[in-house]
Amino acid sequence: MGHRVCPWWLGYFLVNPLRRFMQDPEKILKPYVTDGMMVLEPGCGMGYFTLELARLVGPHGKVVAVDLQPKMLAGLQRRARKAGVAERIDVRVAEVNTLCVDDLAGSVDFGLVFAMVHELPDEIRFFTEMHRALRPGGRILVAEPKGHVPADNFRTSMEAASRLGFRLSEGPSISGSHTAILSCPPPG
């Protein structure tokens, strides 16, 4: 992933507590994540959403946090230890063209893809990997920043994901974001 990746040092700004006034992780995630779930968060950065995901999955769940930049992941690990949720987070370094999550095939209950699709060199490959990782009935919340991504581009990306087998529905209202829910239909 990542020919236009957010620089690692911006991660410090993205985890600023003041961001909660516009994008509160608990309010955004609580309708989708419950105790014991397996969650995949590509493009996690320094973990603005990851820590809340780890709290919501509880001691029996797991969050697989993936990023292209080791410095972002190091920041996430420091924050997770301080928050007491590090044991619930599996931190992984992605490669340029893969999330490195083949071992998760069919096991992910929920994915959070927040403000990173526009950074991808190959959206189709990304959504194919996400589809493979989801269990039947699993869902992905996709959010893209309105300031970087025109509505037509977002719609085109979601239609491409839909052609790969995702069921597309309207996402929640998130300040400054285009949103959608992608679900992996159960068999039959």
Of 112, 93, 109, 113, nearest to 101 (Cα)?
Answer: 93
- What whole-number percentage of the chain has pLDDT above 70? 87
Q: At CA 23, angle to CA 62 and CA 129, rounded to 5? A: 45
The owner of tokens 């603005």 is 48
DSSP per position, 34-83: -TT-EEEEET-TTTTTHHHHHHHH-TT-EEEEEES-HHHHHHHHHHHHHH
Domain ranges of the chain: 8-183
Q: Which pLDDT score, from 0 to 100, does residue 121 have? A: 87
Q: Which pLDDT score, from 0 to 100, does residue 21 have? A: 59
Q: Which pLDDT score, from 0 to 100, does residue 14 have? A: 58
Q: Is the dihedral of CA 85, 87, 88, 90 positive or negative?
A: positive
For residues 2 and 157, which has the higher predicted lDDT (pLDDT)? 157
Q: Specify the 3-state DSSP secondary structure of 3.
A: coil
Mean pLDDT of 42-57: 93
For residues 188 and 8, which has the higher predicted lDDT (pLDDT)? 188
pLDDT of residue 10 exceeding 70, the answer is no
- What whole-number percentage of the chain has pLDDT above 90? 75
Mean pLDDT of 80-95: 97
Distance of CA 58 to the CA centre of its chain: 18
Cβ atoms of 107 and 144 within 8 Å: the answer is: no
On whether the 8-183 domain is CATH 3.40.640.10, my answer is no
What's the rounded Cα separation, in Å, for the pair 93 and 90?
10
Residue 64: strand pairing partners: 40, 90
Q: Which pLDDT score, from 0 to 100, does residue 46 have? A: 83
Binned at pLDDT 50, 70 and 90, residue 2 comes out as: very low
Q: Which pLDDT score, from 0 to 100, does residue 16 have? A: 60
Distance of CA 140 to the CA centre of its chain: 8
pLDDT digits (tens, 9 = 90+) for 30-44: 999 999 999 999 999
For residues 95 and 10, which has the higher predicted lDDT (pLDDT)? 95
pLDDT digits (tens, 9 = 90+) for 138-184: 999 999 999 889 999 999 999 999 999 999 999 999 999 999 999 99
Radius of gyration of the chain (CA): 15
With residue 89 as reference, give the H or E element that holds it: strand 89-93
Residue 179: strand pairing partners: 143
